Amino acid sequence: MLSVLPEVADALASGAPVVALESTIISHGLPRPENLRVAREIEQAVRRGGAVPATIALVDGHACIGLDDAALEQVATRDDVIKVSTRDLATLVARKGMGATTVAATSHLAALAGIGVFATGGLGGVHRDARNTWDESADLQGLATTDITIVCAGVKSILDVPATLERLETLGVTVLGYGTDAFPGFYLSDSGYRLDWRVDSPAEVAAVMAARQEIGTDGRGIVVANPLPVDEQVDPALHERLLHDGLAAAERAAVRGKDVTPFLLEFFHRESKGVTLEANIRIILHNAELAARIATAAADAEWPR
Ligand code: PSU
Ligand code: MN
């Protein structure tokens, strides 16, 4: 059923730390040809942090937990790679298609494979006009129902951030600020919204993961919100302008549903002449390394060496 890369299977069998990585970011979130280079760099960042990377995707209908370099290249370059959320998994497996998994779909497959820690850039959430469109990412439902710890830089800045935080609360999802009391704003270090809980080390996150098991709130996600350092964030004035213009452009082009995020990311990258792209890459690399350190701390807590 699952095609687990031998290196990942060995790590899981021996209790060594593993970090899941999503593939939508590679196929739909980053432009070619940088996307393949960055996909490899993300895996390197996980290794630097002391864990084994497992990039997750559907390759010819196989649910792959860990991709070898040839598979990674296919996901990054083939035109028939579809953005796959949880609801699309079964259909694409049945049709033996190529799929890049979102946070929701990646979390599902990671948990199925026994991987507890996952690194990404920004979560999906409640869209700004959700009151009319009902557009809320399946990432939230995934977090509500999956035993996973996700390191991210908050949610995508195109979203309604306070509404997303409210939904995370309703769904019983733990949100921890990493080294901060503020919820990060993806390209910005601070979204302007406060968090109730702050942690300052991978061991503290591992302690929350272990306590979650003990108290029986496992089966739900933990979000570790890791901000970009202030000197690495996108200039807030530029960000404000991009957001304003991008949302207007999406409206004019009548972009809907799952196409909204790829459209806006592409708009930002183009209009900022790569400034947001560079920030996006920094975000993912920081998160991959932190996730590896958290997976290591969690493995040490479970199998004291
Ligand atoms: N954030 C990014 N780039 C991305 C995504 C999020 O900066 O490509 C992707 C993730 O895979 C996330 C998905 O799970 O967008 C959410 O899409 P939607 O809003 O359609 O559920
Ligand atoms: Mn959506």
Annotated catalytic residue within 136, 156, 258, 289: 156
Number of domains within the chain? 1
Residue 167 within a domain: yes
Q: Rounded to an integer, what distance in angstroms lies between the CA atom of residue 89 and that of residue 76?
A: 19
DSSP letter at 229 equals: P
Residue 90 lies in a domain: yes
> Ligand 2: distance of its center to the CA of 297 in Å?
34
Please pick, among 22, 43, 136, 289, the residue that the annotation labels catalytic: 22
**Residue 7 — very low, low, confident or very high, per pLDDT cuts 50/70/90?**
very high
Which residue puts its alpha carbon closest to atom 3 of ligand 1? 29
Can you tell me the distance from the alpha carbon of 199 to that of 229, in angstroms, rounded to the nearest whole number?
A: 16
Domain that includes residue 162, residue range: 2-300
Tokens of 49: 């942090």
Local confidence band at 224 (pLDDT 50, 70, 90 cut-offs) = very high
Please list every protein residue whose CB sits less than 6 Å from any atom of ligand 1. 22, 24-25, 28-29, 85, 102-103, 121-122, 124, 137-139, 156, 258, 261, 265, 280
Residue holding tokens 């790679």? Answer: 81
| Number of neighbours of residue 41 by Cβ within 10 angstroms | 15
Average pLDDT over residues 49-53: 98
Contact predicate 168/155, CB 8 Å:
no
Q: How far is the CA of 3 from the centre of ligand 2 (A)?
A: 28
Q: How confident is the model at residue 261 (pLDDT cuts 50, 70, 90)?
A: confident
Does 196 map to a domain? yes
- CA neighbours within 13 Å on the CB side: how many for 32? 9
Average pLDDT over residues 44-56: 98
| pTM assigned to the model | 0.96
C-alpha span between 185 and 114 (Å, rounded): 30
Ligand 1 atom 1: the closest Cα is on which residue?
Answer: 122
Q: Give distance in angstroms: CA of 107 to centre of ligand 2.
A: 17
From CA 264, how far away is CA 280, in angstroms rounded?
A: 13
Look up 258 and say whether it is catalytic: no
- C-alpha count within 13 angstroms, C-beta hemisphere, residue 125: 27
Residue 279 in tokens: 């920030």
Q: CA 227, CA 186: separation in Å to the nearest integer?
A: 7
Q: Which amino acid is it at 110?
A: A
Nearest to 107 by CA among 127, 85, 125: 85
pLDDT for 305 beyond 60: no
Q: What is the pLDDT of residue 304?
A: 62
Mean predicted lDDT score pLDDT of the chain: 96
Give the type of residue at 177. Answer: G
Q: Is 22 a catalytic residue?
A: yes
- Which ligand places an atom closest to the C-alpha of 83? 1
User: What is the model's pLDDT at position 221?
Assistant: 97
**Per-residue pLDDT tens for 55-103?**
999 999 999 999 999 999 999 999 999 999 999 999 999 999 999 999 9
Q: How many whole angstroms from 258 Cα to the centroid of ligand 2?
A: 5
Q: Is the pLDDT of residue 166 over 80?
A: yes
Nearest atom of ligand 1 to the alpha carbon of 257: 20
Report if residue 119 sits inside a domain. Answer: yes
The 10s digit of each residue's pLDDT in 174-186 is 999 999 999 999 9
The beta-strand segments (E) located in the chain are 2-4, 18-21, 52-59, 62-65, 82-84, 99-101, 117-119, 149-152, 174-178, 182-185, 188-194, 198-199, 222-225
Q: How far apart are CA 14 and CA 9, in angstroms?
A: 9
Q: Tokens for 252?
A: 């004019």
Q: How far is residue 137 from each of residues 68, 122, 128, 214, measured CA to CA in Å?
A: 29, 12, 12, 29
pLDDT in tens, 196-215: 999 999 999 999 999 999 99
Question: What CA–CA distances, in Å, run from 114 to 2, 15, 54, 118, 287?
Answer: 11, 10, 11, 11, 20
In a domain, 6, yes or no: yes
User: Which CATH number goes with the domain that contains 44?
Assistant: 3.40.1790.10
Residue 305 inside a domain? The answer is no
Please tell me which residue, 304 or 173, carries the higher pLDDT value.
Answer: 173
* The Cα angle at residue 258 between residues 254 and 263, in degrees rounded to 5: 55
Residues with CB under 5 A from ligand 2 (ion): 135
Q: Which has the closest alpha carbon to 27: 278, 224, 247, 266?
A: 266
Q: Please count the other Cβ atoms lying within 10 Å of the Cβ belonging to residue 210.
A: 14
Please check whether residue 72 is in contact with residue 39, taking contact to mean a CB–CB distance below 8 angstroms: yes
